């Protein structure tokens, strides 16, 4: 029943999408007209979806396999075809191909793709001039850039260092195998997971905007932004490691009469410590990449400098900053992968 419901909803959406596309091609409304007549278009789409759903149910009566069946109905419940049919001659295959083609065409139009524009002479000269200036960096600002990249490195480091212990504690509280045994534990675990997903779905650059208003512009705001994001990301990754630990040592320690904290510390922690280190180093690496651009929204670090020069179209200085950033990020990346393979 549930599967039938899901597959029908899915098919309804696909059919509505395909027919609505046909209308769009025929009528070619621009965005203004779309917005003006929003109610009309929305009701037409809903109507199409309802018709699509009915059509899909009709197909089910004739036991035609739709795309919804392929996705939502378990394989053993699907009628088996006796003869092998090529993909494009099955109903669901045609449906899939039509959807992909329509989506690609829509994508082409919406993203305003125009390859010819890359080749216009004027555009090419402009781009070449810009590349030329960036490619001749102004090394006189190197000391300034160095000081600012060091700031970025430390923003990333402090964000990682401060988020690690918090994420460490939270990771056990959000691991199902540790918390799932009791009713209260499951609730805490579930709430934490929802919290992590919410805060992870907000990009650090948005957090930086919030914190630059809260604590004013500067490295502190950038550090806080990365920290909030890191706590959620690390806690989620850590808790996945915790969920993968072997049960044997846990039983071994439990059998001695050890309490819950002791079981976690003696049976779980030794199993997770190496992957934890590895994820933490990788997080520092990722944070550094993000820290370099947080300056654009007031998060301090070398991004501040980059935004300044870019705003004044001082391309040789921008070139220097790009070189410094690339060098440090490359160095950090090499260091991080080396450490991560060493702790395996």
Residue with smaller CB distance to other proteins, 273 or 342: 273
d(CA 249, CA 247): 6
What is the nearest approach in angstroms of other proteins to the Cβ of residue 56? 36
What is the nearest approach in angstroms of other proteins to the Cβ of residue 277? 13
Is residue 168 part of the contact set for other proteins (CB under 8 A)? no
Is residue 261 part of the contact set for other proteins (CB under 8 A)? yes
Is residue 167 part of the contact set for other proteins (CB under 8 A)? no
Q: How many residues bind other proteins (CB under 8 A)?
A: 19
Q: Which of 249, 277, 296, 333 binds other proteins (CB under 8 A)?
A: 249
What is the nearest approach in angstroms of other proteins to the Cβ of residue 276? 13
Q: Which of 130, 258, 322, 339 binds other proteins (CB under 8 A)?
A: 258
Is residue 251 part of the contact set for other proteins (CB under 8 A)? yes
Is residue 248 part of the contact set for other proteins (CB under 8 A)? yes
Residue with smaller CB distance to other proteins, 138 or 254: 254
Q: Which of 259, 313, 327, 330 binds other proteins (CB under 8 A)?
A: 259
d(CA 90, CA 65): 8
294, 290, 280, 297: which is closest to 336 by C-alpha?
280
Q: Which of 93, 185, 252, 316 binds other proteins (CB under 8 A)?
A: 252
Residue with smaller CB distance to other proteins, 276 or 309: 276
Is residue 256 part of the contact set for other proteins (CB under 8 A)? yes
What is the nearest approach in angstroms of other proteins to the Cβ of residue 190? 19
Residues 264-283 that bind other proteins (CB under 8 A): 265-267, 270-271, 273
Is residue 36 part of the contact set for other proteins (CB under 8 A)? no
Is residue 253 part of the contact set for other proteins (CB under 8 A)? yes
Is residue 86 part of the contact set for other proteins (CB under 8 A)? no
- Give the interface with other proteins as residue ranges (CB under 8 A): 248-249, 251-259, 261-262, 265-267, 270-271, 273
């Amino acid at each position: 029943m549930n599967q039938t419901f899901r597959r029908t909803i899915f098919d309804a959406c696909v059919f509505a999408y395909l027919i609505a596309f046909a209308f769009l091609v025929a009528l070619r409304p621009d965005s203004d007209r779309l917005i003006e007549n929003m109610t009309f278009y929305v009701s037409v789409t809903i109507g199409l979806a309802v018709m699509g759903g009915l059509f899909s149910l009709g197909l089910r009566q004739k036991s035609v396999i739709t795309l919804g069946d392929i996705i939502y109905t378990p394989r053993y419940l699907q009628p088996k075809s006796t003869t092998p049919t090529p993909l494009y001659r099955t109903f669901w295959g045609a449906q899939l191909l039509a959807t992909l083609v329509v989506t690609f065409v829509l994508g082409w139009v919406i993203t305003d793709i125009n390859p010819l524009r890359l080749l216009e002479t004027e555009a090419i000269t402009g781009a070449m001039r810009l590349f030329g200036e960036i490619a001749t960096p102004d090394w006189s600002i190197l000391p300034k850039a160095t000081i600012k990249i060091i700031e970025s490195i430390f923003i990333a480091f402090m964000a990682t260092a401060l988020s690690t212990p918090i994420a460490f504690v939270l990771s056990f509280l959000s691991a199902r195998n540790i918390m799932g045994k009791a009713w209260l534990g499951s609730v805490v675990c579930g709430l934490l997971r929802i919290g992590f997903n919410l805060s992870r779905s907000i990009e650090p650059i948005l957090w930086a905007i919030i914190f630059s208003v809260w604590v004013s512009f500067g490295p502190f705001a950038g550090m806080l932004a990365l920290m909030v994001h890191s706590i959620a990301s690390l806690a989620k990754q850590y808790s996945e490691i915790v969920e993968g630990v072997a049960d044997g040592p846990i039983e071994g320690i439990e059998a001695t009469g050890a309490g819950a904290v002791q079981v976690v510390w003696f049976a779980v922690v030794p199993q997770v410590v190496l992957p934890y280190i590895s994820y933490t180093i990788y997080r520092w690496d990722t944070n550094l990449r993000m820290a370099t651009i947080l300056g654009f929204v007031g998060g301090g670090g070398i991004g501040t400098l980059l935004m300044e020069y870019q705003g004044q179209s001082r391309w040789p200085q921008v070139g220097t900053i790009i070189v410094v950033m690339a060098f440090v990020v490359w160095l950090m990346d090499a260091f991080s992968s080396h450490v991560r393979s060493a702790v395996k």
